[in-house]
Amino acid sequence: MISYPSIDKLLDSVNSRYSLAVLSAKRAHEIEDGDSKMLASYESPRYVGKALEEIADGKVKVDPKSILSERVAEEVDLIEETKRERSEDLTDDE
């Protein structure tokens, strides 16, 4: 259960619970993958909690112009994952 930030504050920044779930999941993955943090400090130790704090603070927003479908996003993720694996294989071979 989310206690901080409050769901009301989050829904002030994002227009639906579905959009909030997708946005927070995407941002949590970015943070986990090493993307720069947008706040000086976080109350939550978890990636999703950190993403929600950034959303509540207005640092992360939904891009209404984005037309990236879920299927295309999954394909992009697969390509990026394959690139990472190949890069790791190359460094392991050295």
Domain assignment of residue 19, yes or no: yes
Q: In this structure, what CATH number is given to the domain that contains residue 23?
A: 3.90.940
Are 10 and 1 within 8 A, CB to CB? no
> How high is the pLDDT of residue 92?
65
Domain assignment of residue 11, yes or no: yes
Number of structural domains (the chain) is 1
pTM over 0.95: no
> How high is the pLDDT of residue 68?
57
Q: Please report how many Cα atoms fall inside a 13 Å half-sphere around the Cα of residue 42, on the Cβ side.
A: 17
> How high is the pLDDT of residue 47?
93
Residue 65, SS3 per DSSP: coil
Query: Could you identify the residue written with the tokens 């986990």?
Result: 32
Domain assignment of residue 1, yes or no: no
Q: Six-digit token pair at 24?
A: 């927070």
> How high is the pLDDT of residue 7?
85
Q: Six-digit token pair at 78?
A: 């697969």
Domain assignment of residue 2, yes or no: no
| Residue 72, domain extent | 7-93
Low-confidence ranges of the chain (pLDDT < 70): 1-3, 63-73, 92-94
